[in-house]
Structure 1
Amino acid sequence: MKKLAIISTHPIQYYAPWFRYVTLNKNLSLRVFYLWNFGITPKVDVGFKQVIQWDIPLLDGYEYEFVPNVSTNPGVHHLLGLQNPSLVSQMKAYNPDAVLLMCYNYASIYNFLANWNSREIPLLFRGDSHRLLKPTGIKAWARRQFITQVYRRFAACLYVGKANYEYFQYHGVPSNRLFFSPHAIDNYRFFAQADDAQQQAMLWKQELGIPSDHAVILFAGKFENKKRPLDLLQAFLAANLSQVSLLFVGAGSLEADLKAVATSHKNIYFAPFQNQTLMPRTYAIADLLVLPSYGASETWGLAINEAMCLSRPVIASSHVGCAEDLIHHQHNGLVFSAGDVSALASSLQEAFSDRQRLQCWGQEGKKIVSQYSYTQATQGLEEALDYVISSITLNKRQVIDSIKAR
């Protein structure tokens, strides 16, 4: 049995079910080392601008340790938000066969990388960054050199999709050290709740005052610039769709701006932040999910996975990391050029030009997302572990043979 340590910033609603799934694997022994306790205790979320505590179990079913964080301003929104002096000693005490990092751009991780003997116990990295918006200039060049040096510390990298694969290659990671471990959610939870969610959504639609004969376009997430909810609002108004309403679910810094525009128009609705147990209902109310993000920050877009599990068609911008993997144009959704409001308006018109086709897109999406599950993610993890552990073993044998030959 391989003994794996995972370093993660904090308990995350998408990762905890995966860790439980991996624990069921008879070939792996797993322990997760958390650098912060956000998500299990009430804390202010910077993006949502409100106190958040997830309402699904995040620590059940797998081994974990919290590594004390001494940062005076703890969080994942800045470099010094994670400072964990005892990380190396706690990791050595566990003595794993390999260590998987889910992040690196924090003071604590840089200290760990500088002080960990990766020739004895190899390091893996699972990331989701992309270069769909390609920066230029001296700063971009310097950043590329720096990141390339960071990735040289890892014996293998797990990539979550096509754009992420290209990102790793751009930073010098050879293809033989790249293993596919796709971004996934707890598909089974969403599949199992689909029927109940549909019934709940019908009642919720009445409570929100959305006409029963209206189709619903859904935006679910943080109301912030990088998510571009204002682009969607403007595109919806420009599209001038008949018997279609727009629903914003979430919170954030742009909420007042969105509501200010919406007050002078009809068929635009708002609902507050919905916790995890209510997310199946949130997607079930929709006839179409739209994720119009701009920039490099939408590294994947797991809302797309969630909506597709509820058989919902999707529209995403070209800067959404999962677009190339999960959205098959004109089969389960559409992709538009990021930041182009008129292109988004045209996509909305195209989607609702054939309501029956739109439903078929949703069914096709469920088939596609079924192949992006914890099973596939774990398979890639196992392949990477086999590779790095066998490489370490081979290197040790070569050293021993070399000594004997003398």
Structure 2
Amino acid sequence: MRSASALEPGWHAGLHRCRQARHPPMPDPECCAGDRRGRLGRGAKGGGMNAAPANQKAGHEAGGRPLRLAMVAQFPVHYHLTLYRHLAHDPAIDLDVLFMQKAWADDGFEPDVNAVIDWGVEMFAGYPSKIFRNFSPWRNRPGFWKFVNLGLIWRVLTGPYDAVYIHGHNHFSHVMCMAAARLGGKKLILRNIAYNLGERSKLKRMARRALYGALYALPSVCLYIGRNNKDYYRDFGVGEARLVHAPHVVDNAFFTSEVTRLAGREAEIKASFGIEPGQKVVLFCAKFMEKKQPLRAVEAFARAGLDDDWVLLMVGEGALLPVIKKRVAAEQYERIMFTGFLDQSRVSEAYAISEMLILPSSHQETWGLVVNEALNFGCAIVASDRVGCVPELVEGRTGVVFPHSDTEALAAAIKRLARDPEFLIACRAEARDVISGWNVDAYGRALHRALGIQPS
């Protein structure tokens, strides 16, 4: 069997979709021009919105107009597109999605992966959206002052909305939009997916309770994605009456269609990754950054001592990738392969040939949507105890949970699934059943409850 370093040159270039060179800065448009002109009024220079798909809202208006909802987010994230598009077709909701910036940075550069990423999807299609000017001089850096969107804050305060949905509260614009929504008499919905897993000093916990306790008094409803997130809200004094479960979801319909598209092509797909037809795949699919612990994944696979019919496929990009490749070469680890970044269609192929997904994150893995994706393909899961979705999607049903700092425990979990075919089959058999209820329709129903929209 060839080593990872021998495998990579022949096929890596064809899969690698990241553009490492920094592109010239893109303009920061005040808005995305579209078909809904004149709708935005004051605070929305340019007066245009990206058009939503045609739907049947006129019929709903005959019995009472749709609820006017503004969703405030930093910038488009591919995981959220299915939510925006679903709500754009909802006859009970008249949606505007208001962004603080076009991407993480002006040029689309993402520091977590040290590259400009092309997800292979249209980020602004299928829902009405607007990008507001960001006045922050620190717009291309992390931190509280990254987003200072005066027009957005004014729009939330004065716009014709019944409710404002804000994703997160980590920046100046988030906090000011929360205050503006309340001052403007709108119903405020907050979605913050944080959790309390992990060590914090007593002083930090006290400071957070004082600050966030006041902040969390503002929303009418707080949406939680799972048990760990709910416990987080409760820790800051949010009562049960203001909590609504809104599941963290991916586009299950898309991935189900991918399962059908790729059925029967396993040998062909494996060959494209340099994997032999009879070999079985352990998959790591994440950014190569410290909190995802890609090096622990590599070391655990090596320590598991699996037979030559098992390989580790490492999918992703990031600053740690060259470090890990050097480590693999130095230790002469075999059957470990790197693909670089894969877009949505290509990553589906990686899931389709995998027996199990490993997610060994050490902290701040507030959910782990990669688990949702893998379950759609019937993969078993090995996840650390710091992965937020473990209670709902993994524990006792689809795989094994291990202590996040224990490489031997991760190796043992991989070995257990690989060497116990009945257990592996049982976990994989549960996968699609577990994930079936975590879909965009369930999210839409939850948002209706949060907004007080009665079932039709």
When normalised by structure 2's length, the TM-score is 0.81
Match of 1:316 among 383, 405, 419: 383
Show the counterpart of 1:266. 334
Whether 1:383 aligns to 2:442 is no
Show the counterpart of 1:391. none
Tell me: CA distance 1:201–1:79, structure 2 relative to 1, closer, same or farther (3 Å): farther
Give the C-alpha shift of residue 249 in structure 1: 0.8
Show the counterpart of 1:148. 213
Distance 2:436 2:305 in 1: 34
Show the counterpart of 1:237. 302
Give the C-alpha shift of residue 175 in structure 1: 0.5
Please give the secondary structure, in 2, of the residue aligned with 1:86: helix
Distance 1:66 1:56 in 2: 18
Please give the secondary structure, in 2, of the residue aligned with 1:246: strand
Distance 1:42 1:364 in 2: 42
Give the C-alpha shift of residue 369 in structure 1: 0.6
Alignment of 1:3-402 (within 5 A): 3-38=68-103, 43-75=108-140, 77-118=142-183, 120-199=185-264, 202-242=267-307, 243-263=309-329, 264-295=332-363, 297-329=364-396, 331-386=397-452
Give the C-alpha shift of residue 349 in structure 1: 1.1
Distance 2:346 2:104 in 1: 16
Please give the secondary structure, in 1, of the residue aligned with 2:244: strand
> Which string of whole-angstrom CA distances, capped at 9 and with x for unpartnered residues, describes residues 258-277 of structure 1?
11121212111110101123
Please give the secondary structure, in 1, of the residue aligned with 2:79: coil
Which residue identity is paired with 1:374? Answer: V
Q: Is the 8 A contact 1:198 1:285 kept in 2?
A: no
Q: CA RMSD in A?
A: 2.0
Q: Is the 8 A contact 2:181 2:187 kept in 1?
A: no
Which residue identity is paired with 1:290? Answer: I
Distance 1:288 1:381 in 2: 32
> Which string of whole-angstrom CA distances, capped at 9 and with x for unpartnered residues, describes residues 341-385 of structure 1?
111111111111223432332231111111111111111111111
Distance 2:340 2:227 in 1: 33
Distance 2:92 2:285 in 1: 38
Please give the secondary structure, in 2, of the residue aligned with 1:58: coil
Distance 1:117 1:129 in 2: 22
Distance 2:139 2:420 in 1: 49
Give the C-alpha shift of residue 303 in structure 1: 0.2
Distance 1:44 1:201 in 2: 34
Distance 2:289 2:112 in 1: 7
Show the counterpart of 1:399. none
Tell me: CA distance 1:40–1:142, structure 2 relative to 1, closer, same or farther (3 Å): closer
Show the counterpart of 2:24. none
Q: Is the 8 A contact 1:130 1:163 kept in 2?
A: yes
Q: Structure 2: state its 5+ residue gaps.
A: 1-65
Please give the secondary structure, in 2, of the residue aligned with 1:287: strand
Number of positions where the alignment pairs a residue of Structure 1 with one of Structure 2 = 386
When normalised by structure 1's length, the TM-score is 0.90
> Which string of whole-angstrom CA distances, capped at 9 and with x for unpartnered residues, describes residues 89-139 of structure 1?
223453110100011111212233344434711211012111121423212
Give the C-alpha shift of residue 204 in structure 1: 3.5
364-373 vs 69-78, which deviates more?
69-78
